[in-house]
Amino acid sequence: MGTGKIFLGILAGVAVGATLGILFAPAKGSATRKKISQKGDDYVDALKEKFDEFLDSITGKFEEAKEEVSDIEEEAHAISDEVKKKVKTARG
């Protein structure tokens, strides 16, 4: 199972547990709704932060891969030029 699925499962479990805890706690309905709303906002903020971290990680990995491909391309061109020179020299 992927790390993302585990994280989402844990996050969902925490959200359900917190919601049930608030619902069964002795408090006025308005206070309970306010707490649920605040917890929901907290979870949304945490999820946004994790998503941003994920995007930053993916972007970094993409940039690294792009640089590697560029380096390989440069090496291939250099080898190609060297081979062309050797062929020209051998021919003539």
3-class DSSP assignment, residue 79: helix
pLDDT (tens digit, 9 = 90+) per residue, 62-84? 999 999 999 999 999 999 999 99
Here the tokens at position 75 are 């090496």
pLDDT (tens digit, 9 = 90+) per residue, 1-31? 677 778 778 888 888 887 787 777 776 777 7
pTM for this entry = 0.48
Domain range list for the chain: 3-91
pLDDT given for residue 69 in this prediction: 95
